[in-house]
Homo-oligomer: A and B are copies of this chain.
């Protein structure tokens, strides 16, 4: 029997020296003032039991974690056809690189780098016919997997991010030039950024991810969201591509499928057992939460849990 409570307590203590080693995502003005001492970690088991430590009710900007939700939604709608427009390989490059995108004629390597998530947003806008309906449906989906109707986006973060989103606009324009964007660049980037600015706590995030630990079906409510095969593939993609050019590092040290965001959050799943969320705004050089990554590494070491 694993004593989760004791493990989380130990982690909360051991993580302290790591909190100040990271840097906030200062290229997004609204995130630049985050308090580096913040830390939270939450676990949700299949029977609904949750273990939480730190600021687990504090909401933060989920940023790239939203890519898991939009990809799930788009895969559910378009299924395998989606792979004509986005690949499934690790990029080996930073999250916002244009180099590979130019060489590979506008087809992003995977849905979890920025270019890939922008294409995914484009497929949702084409499906829902408007940017408003797209955002609404995405938000509803997140609310429903998190079983929480109060989740919303942070308009200040959104506005702030849009003003400095030149890299994303470069990526989107490049894909548009290759014909891999159906809607207007501005519509797609704005909607993508709105998804990124959705705010959730670690408690909410760990609840929301549970269906991915259970082959697509929420083990508590028994609600089915996607097929087992799709769930398996999303997990595989999180493992190989969930942390940009530090995905190998994460697989190596943590050993769980996971996805990080520059807001400081990371989610991970232990297949057939639980989902985990962690938060700490200081980032390492790859743009992943430094203390968050370390906390997950401590968790898998202490619990012996890993997919390998």
* Residues in chain A within 8 A of chain B (CB atoms): 87-93, 97-100, 102-103, 109-110, 166-167, 169-171, 173-174, 176-177, 185, 229, 231-233, 235-237, 239-241, 245-249, 251-252, 255, 257, 271, 301, 306-308
Instruction: Give min CB distance, A163 to chain B, whole Å.
Output: 11
The main secondary structure of chain A at its interface with chain B is helix
Counting every copy of the chain, the complex holds 4
Q: From A235, which residue of chain B is reached at the shortest CB distance? A: B308
Do B170 and A173 touch across chains, with their CB atoms under 8 A apart?
Answer: yes
Most B-side CB within 10 Å, residue of A97, A176, A246, A307: A307
- A sample of 18 cross-chain residue pairs with beta-carbon separation below 8 angstroms, ordered by A number, consists of A88-B248, A89-B90, A89-B245, A90-B240, A97-B102, A110-B248, A166-B176, A166-B185, A167-B174, A170-B170, A170-B171, A236-B252, A236-B255, A236-B308, A237-B248, A237-B251, A240-B248, A307-B307
Most buried by B among A170, A237, A307: A170
Q: What is the bound-complex CA distance between A196 and B247, given in angstroms?
A: 28
Q: Are A308 and B257 in contact (CB under 8 A)?
A: yes
